[in-house]
Amino acid sequence: MRYTLAVDIGASSGRLILGSVQLEKLELKEIHRFDNKMIKKGQHYCWDIDMIFSEIKKGIKKCNDIGITPESIGIDTWAVDFVLLDEKGELLTDAVAYRDDRTDGMMEEVFQKIMKERLYLETGIQFQKFNTIYQLYSLKKTQPEVFAQAKTFLMIPDYLHYLLSGIAVNEYTNATSTQLLNAFTKKWDKTILDILEINKEIFQEIKKPNTILGNLRPELVEEFGFDMKVILPATHDTGSAVISVPAFNDTIYISSGTWSLIGVENRFPICVTKALDYNFTNEGGIDYRYRFLKNIMGLWMIQEVRRNYNNQYSFAKFVELAKEAQGFSSIVNVNDNRFLKPDNMVEEIQNYCLETGQQVPTTPGEIAKCVYDSLVDSYVTAINEIEEIFEKTFPSINIIGGGCQNEMLNQLLAEASQKDVYAGPIEATAIGNIVSQFIALGEIDSLSEARQMIKQSFEIKAYKAAEDVIK
């Protein structure tokens, strides 16, 4: 039996999952899970990269406990964040988190040097103030002495792969999220880098998903008691997740978690004015496919609401409470930057409703109902924009990831969109990671074969528009 090990790290947790193919079906076995969160280091919110790597090693060692030796390992994480290494290959910067405020005002300064339209037409990436391009520009402006010492730029999964293998590369799907990669040449855009005076030499060779990077460092082989191949999956977690959408015939997908990524898979980038106006992105996917999508704030809002209520309500309980608040109907713009990292999400939602002349939610149920209704409203808007750009109607929506377990949200979306909604698979990102490794190893022949296998292996629930849904 051949096993691969997927390391899937999100903004709130990480997990290590073993994958195998048995009787033409994918089998998953979670062996380790850990919490992940931002920490304050000096003036910035950062990721605890040392803790993350320590937890990855703990998970690898658990393979020995269950008597399984995986053939390979691959890591995916969120996008845009990075570290810089010095000439000795050691950390020069902290892994500053995208929710940190160091990029405030940086996007506007970049637009003074390069036209917004030109930046979009060349990279195809939507404008978000935390994109890597603005993080790098901020670092160059505020810490030029540190920036000048940098020899190597690695995004978070690139760095973790480097710690495992000793090999430094930039993986394609995550590199596209930087807003520094040309959407058509699939190479670092030297013109943009020159205009912003960012050293081109710090960027590494771009490698595609399914690339066998190498083997573990010798010291790690000794520590674990076995060797593995280090294989690049789609290291952008959404890139891995979208692999798991079982069918792509006229389907809009939503990768639902801390963020909601809503879009379609396409064979070429769509860098047109209408896509720019609606702020859609063209992120790279497996086999040089493009994920034409929009980032929506997602379940981060309800996660923060739960934290504000001191975690006394489970996510399932919030759904129950929201059902009891059927008469409440205020809507907030979930993509407003005020919800990116407010001091108190509940108060921010209440203030928004007050400022816009709407009913102010006061109970946990009303707050939750407001979040769910607002997410559905933003989904439907994005769906309408996609259909306008493609000049066609998509009859179905496939929700993947942990957020697809929210049955109330799924049913509300089916009713609001008047489309069939399919939910699953849940562990979409880990599945996509595992599939990439098996393709590299020759266990699975192609993406189409993988998607058929996924469809056969995991439960997909259907939701239809009905008159009796909760409103």
Query: What is the CATH number for 147?
Result: 3.30.420.40
The pLDDT of residue 468 is 44
Q: Is 94 domain-assigned?
A: yes
Q: Is 461 domain-assigned?
A: no
CA–centroid distance for 344 within its chain: 24
User: Would you say residue 89 has pLDDT above 80?
Assistant: yes
Could you read off the pLDDT of 265-306 as tens digits, one per residue? Answer: 999 999 989 999 999 999 999 999 999 999 998 999 999 999
Domain termination site, one of 215, 236, 257 = 236
Residue 260: partners with Cβ closer than 8 Å, 6 or more residues away: 254, 295, 296, 297, 298, 299, 375, 378, 379, 403
Domain match, 116 and 213 both: yes
Q: Is 95 domain-assigned?
A: yes
Domain match, 316 and 169 both: no
Q: Is 162 domain-assigned?
A: yes
Domain match, 217 and 348 both: no
Domain match, 64 and 158 both: yes
Mean local confidence (pLDDT), 62-88 = 97
Domain match, 256 and 293 both: yes
Mean local confidence (pLDDT), 86-92 = 96
Q: Is 187 domain-assigned?
A: yes
Dihedral angle computed from the Cα positions of residues 361, 363, 369 and 374, in that order, rounded to the nearest 10 degrees: 30
293: containing domain:
247-423
Residue type, position 255, single letter: S
Q: Is 19 domain-assigned?
A: yes
Q: Is 447 domain-assigned?
A: no
| Domain count along the chain | 2
Domain match, 253 and 229 both: no
Cβ atoms of residues 221 and 227 within 8 Å: yes
Mean local confidence (pLDDT), 222-237 = 98
Could you read off the pLDDT of 354-377 as tens digits, one per residue? Answer: 999 999 999 999 999 999 999 999
Confidence of residue 20 (pLDDT cuts 50, 70, 90): very high
User: Would you say residue 249 has pLDDT above 70?
Assistant: no
161 in a known ligand binding site:
no
Residue 379, φ and ψ in degrees, nearest 5: -65, -50
Could you read off the pLDDT of 410-444 as tens digits, one per residue? Answer: 999 999 999 999 999 999 999 999 999 999 999 99
User: Would you say residue 467 has pLDDT above 60?
Assistant: no
Mean local confidence (pLDDT), 392-400 = 95
The pLDDT of residue 288 is 94
Domain termination site, one of 396, 423, 450 = 423
Domain match, 129 and 26 both: yes
User: Would you say residue 447 has pLDDT above 90?
Assistant: yes
Sheet with 44-47, edge to edge strand ranges: 38-41, 44-47, 95-96
Could you read off the pLDDT of 133-188 as tens digits, one per residue? Answer: 999 999 999 999 999 999 999 999 999 999 999 999 999 999 999 999 999 999 99
CA-CA distance, 284 to 79, in Å (whole number)?
A: 12
User: Would you say residue 471 has pLDDT above 70?
Assistant: no
Domain match, 222 and 281 both: no
237 in a known ligand binding site:
yes
The pLDDT of residue 248 is 64
The pLDDT of residue 246 is 82
179 in a known ligand binding site:
no
440 in a known ligand binding site:
no
11 in a known ligand binding site:
yes
Question: Which residues are known catalytic residues?
Answer: 237
User: Would you say residue 469 has pLDDT above 50?
Assistant: no
Mean local confidence (pLDDT), 337-354 = 96
Domain match, 221 and 288 both: no
Mean local confidence (pLDDT), 297-320 = 96
Q: Is 450 domain-assigned?
A: no
CA-CA distance, 450 to 442, in Å (whole number)?
A: 12
The pLDDT of residue 12 is 87
Domain termination site, one of 402, 423, 444 = 423
402 in a known ligand binding site:
yes
356 in a known ligand binding site:
no
User: Would you say residue 308 has pLDDT above 90?
Assistant: yes
Show the tokens assigned to 306. 């739960």
Mean pLDDT over all residues of the chain? 95
Domain match, 227 and 251 both: no
Full DSSP string of 334-390: TTSGGGTS-S-HHHHHHHHHHHTTPPPP-SHHHHHHHHHHHHHHHHHHHHHHHHHHH
Domain match, 212 and 256 both: no
Domain match, 183 and 309 both: no
